[in-house]
Amino acid sequence: MSNRVDPLEGQDDKDFADVLKSFVLNLYDILKCSNFVWDKVVDLDIDAQEKILKTLKSGAQFLNEEIDVSKGSNELILSEQAKIVLADLQRAMYSKPPFYSDILINSLYLNIFSQFDEFIGELLTVLFNLRPGLLEESEKNFSVSDIFSYPNIEMFKKSIIEKEIDTIRRESYVKQIEIFEKKFKVKLKEFENWSEFVEVTQRRNIIMHCGGIVTEQYINICKENGYEDISSKGSKVDINVEYLNSSIFIMLEVGIKLVQVLWRKQFKHELNAADNALNSIIFQMLHQEEFEFSLIISEFALKLPNISDLEMKFFFLINHCIALKQLEMKNELEKTLKSVDWTVVNSELQIAKKILSDTDEDLVETMLQVGAEGKYFNQHAYATWPLFQLANNNQHFKTGFFNLYNITLEEYLNKVANKQADELESTALHGE
C-alpha cells in the first residue's frame, strides 16, 4: 500500500470561492507572521553577535593573563582551563555568526511559493471537476490495461486530473500562466505588475538553488518580460522585509486575478458569486488597512467587462473610493465620485457618497430614513465597516447613530471591543 499523500484528497467539494479565500488567508498569514516576529528575530541576531564578541574579548583577556604568567619560560605552558578558552576562542573566530533573520525571511519567502503551488493545484482541481471536457485536450495516452487497473471511472478520472496538475506545476511560474492563457483562451499577462511577478518568481529560483547569486537565466527572463531593475550577473540578491511583503501582494494579485478571470470565463452563470468573493476580499483588505492593495484589486473589479448588477458595481466603486480617501488621493477620489450617477441608487448608498465626499447636509435625515436595520447597513456596520470608520469623528454621523440606537458611537464601540476581548479570553482558556 502506498503512503503517498493524495493532493486531491478533500478537494472535490471545494469551489472557486473556497480556493480563493484559502489562498488569500494563507499568504496574508505569512505577512502577519513576518510583521509579528521580525523584530524579535533581529534581536536574537544581535544577542548572538554580542555573545561571540564577548567570547572573543573575555577569551583574549584570559589568554593574555596566562601568557604574562608564563613569561621567563622558554615555552608557553597553558593550563587546562586556558586550553578550553583557546578552543572556544578559535571557534568564535572562525565560525559564521548566526543570522536567524536570514533563515526566517528566506523560509517565509519560499513558503509563498509553496502556498502558490497548492493554490494552483486546488484551482485546477475545481476547473477539471466542473469542466471534465477540458481534460480531452490532455496529451497523455492511456492503454486499456491502465483504465481497467482502477476500481471505477471516478478513480480513473481523479488520476488523470492529478497527472495533468503535476504536469502543469512542473513548469516555471511564467510558463504556468501561459498554459492557462492557451488552455482557457484568456489574457492573464496584461496587467501593470506582470514584470514584477516574473522577477519575484525568478528570484525564488536563485534563492532556492543558487544561494541568491544572479544567473544569466534570471537576467534573460526578467528582460524578456519587461523588468528593468536587474542586478548584474554573479551579484548576490537578498530578501528583506519590504521585498517579502511586496512579493506577497504581487502573488496575491496574480492569484486573485487568475481565479476571477477563469471563473468568469468558464462559468458565466456564477457572476454574482464571483463578484461577492471579489468584493469580500477588497472589504477584508480595507479592514486590515491594506489600502494600496485594496486600490489595485478594486480598480481591477471596476474594469471587469461584466458585473452582476448595478449595486455590486457601486460597492466596488465605494470600496475603491475608501482606499483613495485613506491614501489622500483627493483629485482621483473626486473624479471617481463624479463618474457615476448616484441618483439611481438607494438611500443607503447615498449615505456612502455623503461620507466619502465629506457632505454633512441631510446625513442625519438620510440615516433615519434608512432606519436601524437597512438592507446593508445596521448598528454593527455603522460602527465597524471601513466606510464608517472615515466618519468616526463626524458629529453629524454620531448624532444619526445615537438617534437610531439610543447609544453613543463611542459606547457601542467600547461594548464591541469588550465582547471581542471576552471571546478571545474564553477561546484561550478552552484551548480552542
* pLDDT tens figures, 164-215: 888 888 999 999 999 999 888 899 998 889 999 999 999 999 999 998 999 9
Report the 10 Å Cβ neighbour count for 247: 25
Domain membership flag for residue 11: no
Q: How far apart are CA 102 and CA 127, in angstroms?
A: 38
Question: Both 279 and 405 in a single domain?
Answer: yes
Mean pLDDT of the chain: 85
Spell 323-347 as b/e; 16+ CB within 10 A means b: bbbbeebeebbeebbeeeeeeebeb
Same domain, 293 and 219: no
- The whole-angstrom separation of Cα 296 and Cα 290 is 10
Q: Does any domain span residue 175?
A: yes
The pLDDT confidence band at residue 367, using thresholds 50, 70 and 90, is: very high
Instruction: Tell whether 301 and 409 lie within a shared domain.
Output: yes
In this structure, are 168 and 213 located in the same domain? yes
Domain that holds residue 71: 45-94
> Please, which pLDDT band fits residue 383 given cuts at 50, 70 and 90?
very high
Residue 401: inside a domain: yes
Say whether pLDDT at 59 is over 80: no
Domain assignment present for 118? yes
Q: Which residue has the higher pLDDT, 431 or 370?
A: 370
| 154 and 223 housed in the same domain | yes
Residue 7 falls inside a structural domain: no
Whole-number Å distance between alpha carbons of 68 and 379 = 81
Q: Which grid coordinates are listed for 310?
A: 448595478
Task: Indicate whether 168 and 86 sit together in one domain.
Answer: no
- Residues facing residue 213 across a β-bridge: 236
Does the reported pTM lie above 0.85?
Answer: no
306 residue type, one letter? N
Q: Decide which of 19 and 76 is more confident.
A: 19
Residues 361 and 425 in one domain: yes
Q: Do 35 and 51 share a domain, yes or no? A: no
- Judged against a pLDDT cut of 80, whether residue 68 lies above it is answered with no
Tell me the residue ranges of DSSP E strands in 124-212: none
| Range 140-161 average pLDDT | 66
pLDDT per position as a tens digit, 325-352: 999 999 999 999 999 999 999 999 999 9
- Shared domain for 323 and 239, answered yes or no, is no
Note the pLDDT of residue 42: 65
pLDDT of residue 100 exceeding 80, the answer is no
DSSP conformation class of 192: T
Query: 254 lies in a domain?
Result: no
Whether 316 and 415 share a structural domain: yes
Per-residue pLDDT at 24 exceeds 80: yes
What is the count of structural domains for the chain? 3
Going by pLDDT thresholds of 50, 70 and 90, the confidence category of residue 79 is low
Based on the fold, state whether residues 301 and 404 are members of the same structural domain: yes
- Are residues 385 and 371 part of one domain? yes
315 in a structural domain:
yes
In a domain, 157, yes or no: yes
Q: What is the CA radius of gyration of the chain?
A: 29
Q: Which residues pair with 236 in a beta bridge?
A: 213
